[in-house]
């Protein structure tokens, strides 16, 4: 059988490329604000964490690194508990190159009462991060343990919880 001619190859490749570009542009406005929002939330989260770590290290400079981390966790959870969340149910989404995770965070009497993964479209199964919602409730913080082998899914989950909590603060 004769092979497809180079002209046809170029034409088909160009048509597919253009359709892809059009699809990418059309779907871009939907994803851009979410990613921007999550980046902002991540930035906020990281700066507050740094602040807490620096304050704890200044108060006890001779403490070991593990102790410092523990203190940081405790202080972050206490600060988040002290901060006033409005009661209600809030949704958040975390997205990166492996997909997205959406969560629903329920606040009652200013505390995180329930966290639920509502959608998981990552390339990895949801069961890998199934234990994380419980950690958020028990720690009253989005600062959960990293799941080995599902680091990017964990990041998505953290971002989604922070996104929801930022809405609850507003």
Partner 1 sequence: MERLNSTIHREIRNEPETRMGRANRVPKKQKKSSFQKFIKSPKGIVFIILALLSYAGTFYPTGLSGLKNIVLAMGTGVLLDYVVAYVMNRPLRFSDGALITGLIIGGVLSPAVSWYYVMFTTIVALLSKHILKDKRKPLFNPAAVGLFISATLFSTGESWWSGLSMTPVWMTAILLVGGFIIVNRINKLPLVFSFLGTYMILFLILGILNISGAGDALRSPYINAALFMSFFMLSDPPTSPAKYREQVIFGFLAALASGAAYLYVSKLTYLLVGLFVANSLKALHSKLTQRNGIRRNALHSR
* CA dihedral over 65, 112, 96, 31, signed as positive or negative: negative
Closest CB to partner 1 among residues 128, 137? 128
Give min distance, CB of 137 to partner 1, in A: 24
Binding-site size for partner 1 (CB under 8 A) equals 33
Q: Does residue 15 interact with partner 1 by CB under 8 A?
A: yes
Q: Which of 77, 124, 135, 137 binds partner 1 (CB under 8 A)?
A: 124
Residue 16 to residues 2, 12, 13, 29, 92: CA-CA distances in angstroms?
Answer: 23, 6, 5, 21, 34
Q: Does residue 1 interact with partner 1 by CB under 8 A?
A: yes
Q: In angstroms, rounded to a whole number, what is the distance separating the alpha carbons of residues 159 and 2?
A: 53
Question: In this structure, how many other beta carbons lie within 10 angstroms of the beta carbon of residue 133?
Answer: 20
Give the distance between the most distant pair of CA atoms in the chain: 79
Secondary structure of residue 106 in the 3-state scheme: strand
Which of 20-28, 45-53, 138-146, 156-164 is the region at the interface with partner 1 (rule: CB under 8 A)?
A: 20-28
Give min distance, CB of 129 to partner 1, in A: 11
User: What does the block give as tokens for 75?
Assistant: 């202080």
**Residue found by looking up tokens 């906020």 in the block:** 44
Closest CB to partner 1 among residues 30, 109? 30
Q: Does residue 33 interact with partner 1 by CB under 8 A?
A: no
Q: Which residues bind partner 1 (CB under 8 A)?
A: 1, 3-4, 9, 12-13, 15-16, 19-20, 22-24, 26-28, 30-31, 97-100, 121, 123-128, 148-151
């Amino acid at each position: 059988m004769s092979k497809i001619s180079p002209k046809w190859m170029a034409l088909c490749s160009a048509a597919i490329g253009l359709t892809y570009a059009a699809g990418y542009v059309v779907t871009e406005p939907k994803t851009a604000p979410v990613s921007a929002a999550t980046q902002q939330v991540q930035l906020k989260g990281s700066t507050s964490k740094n602040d807490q770590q620096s304050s704890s290290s200044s108060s006890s400079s001779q403490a070991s690194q593990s102790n410092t981390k523990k203190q940081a966790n405790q202080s972050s959870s206490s600060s988040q508990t002290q901060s006033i969340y409005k009661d209600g149910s809030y949704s958040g989404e975390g997205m990166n190159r492996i997909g997205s995770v959406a969560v629903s965070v329920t606040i009652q009497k200013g505390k995180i009462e329930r966290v639920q993964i509502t959608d998981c479209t990552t390339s990895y199964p949801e069961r890998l991060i199934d234990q994380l919602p419980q950690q958020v409730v028990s720690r009253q913080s989005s600062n959960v343990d990293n799941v080995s082998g599902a680091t990017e899914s964990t990041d998505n989950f953290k971002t989604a919880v922070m996104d929801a909590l930022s809405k609850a603060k507003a």
